[in-house]
């Protein structure tokens, strides 16, 4: 089976990434306001920070050169 690069994977088959979104949003200054759905409300109130968190995750995966880099990184924490 041929290995695809990240952009090729997204273009041809799509790609599901999972990362520590709440941690990334907190780092970007999004306040949880004691709301269990605070990451959902961030989609409305602070969408640019949500986009930036996703973009940062894609850049991290690309720079690491591995589609499982995020999992490997989180397992080390």
Asked if residue 49 lies in contact with residue 55, where contact means CB atoms within 8 angstroms, the answer is: no
CA–CA gap between residue 31 and residue 42 (Å, rounded): 9
CA–CA gap between residue 69 and residue 38 (Å, rounded): 27
- Give the pLDDT of residue 62: 74
- Give the pLDDT of residue 77: 47
Q: What is the pLDDT along the chain (77 residues), one digit of tens a residue?
A: 567 676 777 777 666 555 568 888 898 999 888 988 888 888 889 999 988 888 887 777 777 776 666 555 555 54
Both tokens of residue 40? 């959902």
Would you call 31 helix, strand, or coil by DSSP?
Answer: coil
């Amino acid at each position: 089976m041929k290995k695809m690069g990240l952009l090729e994977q997204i273009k041809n088959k799509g790609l599901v990434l999972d990362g520590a979104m709440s941690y990334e949003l907190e780092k970007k200054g999004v306040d949880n306001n004691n709301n269990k759905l605070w990451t959902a409300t961030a989609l409305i109130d602070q969408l640019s920070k949500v986009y930036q968190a996703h973009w940062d995750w894609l850049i991290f995966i690309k720079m690491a050169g591995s589609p499982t880099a995020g999992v490997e990184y989180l397992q080390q924490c």
